[in-house]
Amino acid sequence: MAKESSQTINGKAFEYALLNEFFFRLNSITNVSIVQNQPFKNALRCFDIVSEKEKDAFRLNANFAVNLLIGLEPRLSNHLNIEDTLELEIVSDSRGQEGDVRDVLAIRSLQKWEIGISAKNNHRAIKHSRLSNDIDFGVKWLSIPCSDNYFQTIKPIFDNLREIKTQSNSTHKWSELGDYHSSIYVPVLDAFRAELLQLDRSNPGIVAANLVRYLIGHQDFYKVIKGRNEVEVQAYNLHGSLNLPFKDIKPIAKVERLKFPSRLIEVAYLNNSKTTLMVTLDEGWQITFRIHNASSRVEPSLKFDINLLSSPRSLFVNKLFLA
């Protein structure tokens, strides 16, 4: 079994801290149950093995975030009757492959209602997607196939990387390739850029919206980002399922519904970088794609760190500063 990274352990521990804080805050005022699935057990195990100082930090961040979320979502603390149980669940990582970016769910089956939270521990990346000969990002991301020209352009690059890996018995390092940013990254990014623009021209009004759906997820959710001295809560209310009242009980603040983009305005290198493209869409969306090698040893694939550089002005954002 591969050794878990500290980033993975801390991320899972933060998921547990959020779920546990919901349970602690709500158990005395409504019926609450925890789904004791394998993801929950994994998260609890990760929380148990971090230091006491880290536990305290996770608890404090979770406390601030959950206080706000209970105010924004009255259905968390209000039930229809004694049978109306709030279920708390940690989601399997495999759901992320299906376009569900949420890590923690709060579900009221009787009300046919749920909200989800994406938990981020000291990072803001929204996706870590790969490019290779065998990956059709058009189909996977946009539901539109990439062209033969795109694959013909990238094939010699990735074939060469595969040959290097094979001939060196997987020992050759990227650092031994010289200026691989110019010789590998830039040609791959150029091909990716050209294909994304071509797909948008051929499918007007579709690519921009589908790109955001792929990156942000197919369900509305809150993102809770734990920082060093602050916790930030963002609300991705693209379908209007967040911030609903419970009978005559209204949320403490309004979460605006976000608009999907309808067109791709520009795809350009960020500040003359050789590793990062910035994709600008209408409605205020800007996304960066930073390409990198996921391993120190040469592999016939590359990885994107994808970040939301700017979002619509209507995005609900609340930063809570910790003492």
Is the domain of 208 the same as that of 225?
no
Asked if pLDDT for residue 2 goes beyond 60, the answer is no
pLDDT per residue over 87-135, tens digit each? 999 998 766 556 688 999 999 999 999 999 999 887 666 788 999 999 9
Is the domain of 254 the same as that of 283?
no
Strand segments, DSSP code E, in the chain are 32-34, 86-90, 104-108, 113-121, 130-131, 221-226, 230-236, 264-269, 276-281, 286-292, 302-310, 316-321
Helix 186-202 crosses helix 207-216 at what angle (to 10 degrees)? Answer: 120
Domain assignment present for 202: yes
Instruction: Provide the whole-model pTM.
Output: 0.86
Out of 1-5, 61-65, 246-250, least confident range: 1-5
Is the domain of 248 the same as that of 265?
no
Is the domain of 160 the same as that of 37?
no
The number of distinct structural domains making up the chain is 2
Secondary structure class of 307 (helix, strand, coil): strand
Is the domain of 251 the same as that of 293?
no
Is the domain of 96 the same as that of 232?
yes
Is the domain of 97 the same as that of 163?
no
Is the domain of 78 the same as that of 116?
yes
Domain with 142 in it? 130-212+261-310
Is the domain of 195 the same as that of 91?
no
User: What pLDDT sits at residue 1?
Assistant: 38
Distance from C-alpha of 302 to C-alpha of 293, rounded to nearest angstrom: 5
Secondary structure class of 105 (helix, strand, coil): strand
| Mean pLDDT, the chain, integer | 93
Domain assignment present for 226: yes
Per-residue confidence band for 157, with pLDDT thresholds at 50, 70 and 90:
very high
Strand segments, DSSP code E, in 57-173 are 86-90, 104-108, 113-121, 130-131
Is the domain of 82 the same as that of 198?
no
User: What pLDDT sits at residue 5?
Assistant: 80
Is the domain of 15 the same as that of 40?
yes
Domain assignment present for 1: no
